[in-house]
Amino acid sequence: MQANLKMFKNKTPGISRKVPSSCISASSEMLDQVLPQTQCQLCGYKGCMPYAQAIVTGKETINRCLPGGVETLFALAELTGQDATPYVAGMKQKAIPIQLAVIQEETCIGCTKCIHACPVDAIIGAAKQMHSILSDICTGCGLCLPPCPVDCIDLITLNKHFSKEEKHAKANRARLHYQERNMRLNQKQKIMGSHSKAAKISADEIKQAIDRVLHKRAHGIKRGQGYKITL
Ligand code: SF4
Ligand code: SF4
Ligand code: SF4
């Protein structure tokens, strides 16, 4: 996912044609309805709704949602009255399939960093304890991978066909979790200011945990053991 992000930042699929906001009659809510709600930020915005708002205000093109692929491209084109044709070839090349994150649970050191990165509350676990991913909530956004200090989270592509209805239901669920999380964080920020729970775990504790993992690995625990995936 990170490699895709770099590629995408360097080269937008197709030709970029921004359309003035005065030419778009659809609302950002209408556009958000056809976005996949992966909340991956690959479009260059903090989530699907900010991207929808950028299109509506004429600041952004309709071809930046790689998880949505061609299906979302056409839906955005229809809602905004634009021609998707110039973008289709590029989108076909760069579209990202539905993915899921998995934690190598025996390697996890319980630092909680991934929980704080997850935009839809798909990770459960407590400080210094093993963490798990709720596969029916995870959108496969990949945002939990970079903060993990022991590199024990992988993204896997789901070899399953999702119908339009299933994708819609998945997106609705993700939107709800994303909105609930944002509301909770806003409330928390108001109450506590900028102090985060993650700050309570010291760098020393993380270092000690990493040393424990390295010790375990040196004694034969293989990467990838212990996946539990239920769909
Ligand atoms: S799914 Fe990702 S790339 Fe698509 S609009 Fe949402 S945040 Fe942007
Ligand atoms: S668990 Fe990871 S990949 Fe899944 S939604 Fe949360 S941050 Fe994204
Ligand atoms: S960031 Fe990695 S090590 Fe830390 S709790 Fe999450 S999975 Fe475990």
Distance 78 CA to ligand 3 centre (A): 41
Distance 215 CA to ligand 1 centre (A): 39
Strand 132-133 and strand 123-124: pairing? antiparallel
Which residue has the CA at smallest separation from atom 6 of ligand 2? 118
Choose one of 39, 60, 61 to mutate for the ligand 1 pocket test, by most ligand atoms within 8 angstroms of C-beta: 39
Q: What is the pLDDT of residues 23-56, one digit of tens each?
A: 677 999 999 999 999 999 999 999 999 999 999 9
**Helix axis angle, 69-80 to 85-94, nearest 10°:** 160
Tokens 């669920």 correspond to 173
How many residues are given for the chain? 231
Q: What is the pLDDT of residues 82-138, one digit of tens each?
A: 999 999 999 999 999 999 999 998 999 999 999 999 999 999 998 888 889 999 999
With a 6 A CB cut-off, is 36 part of the ligand 1 pocket? yes
Locate the domains of the chain by residue range: 2-94, 98-217
21-25 contacts: CB < 8 A, separation 24 or more? 21/56, 21/57, 21/58, 22/58, 23/58, 23/80, 23/81, 24/55, 24/56, 24/58, 24/80, 24/81, 25/81
Q: Which CATH architecture group holds 98-217?
A: 2-Layer Sandwich (3.30)
Atom nearest to 112 CA in ligand 3: 5
Question: Is the pLDDT assigned to residue 207 strictly greater than 50?
Answer: yes
Distance 87 CA to ligand 3 centre (A): 38
Locate the DSSP E strands across 13-125.
99-103, 123-124
With a 6 A CB cut-off, is 143 part of the ligand 3 pocket? no
What secondary structure letter does DSSP report for 39? -
Tokens 């903060």 correspond to 147
Question: Is the pLDDT assigned to residue 11 strictly greater than 70?
Answer: no
Distance 32 CA to ligand 1 centre (A): 10
Which residue type sits at 137?
Answer: I
pLDDT at 219: 72
Q: In this structure, what are the phi and psi dihedrals at residue 75, rounded to the nearest 5 degrees?
A: -65, -40
Atom nearest to 47 CA in ligand 1: 7
With a 6 A CB cut-off, is 40 part of the ligand 2 pocket? no
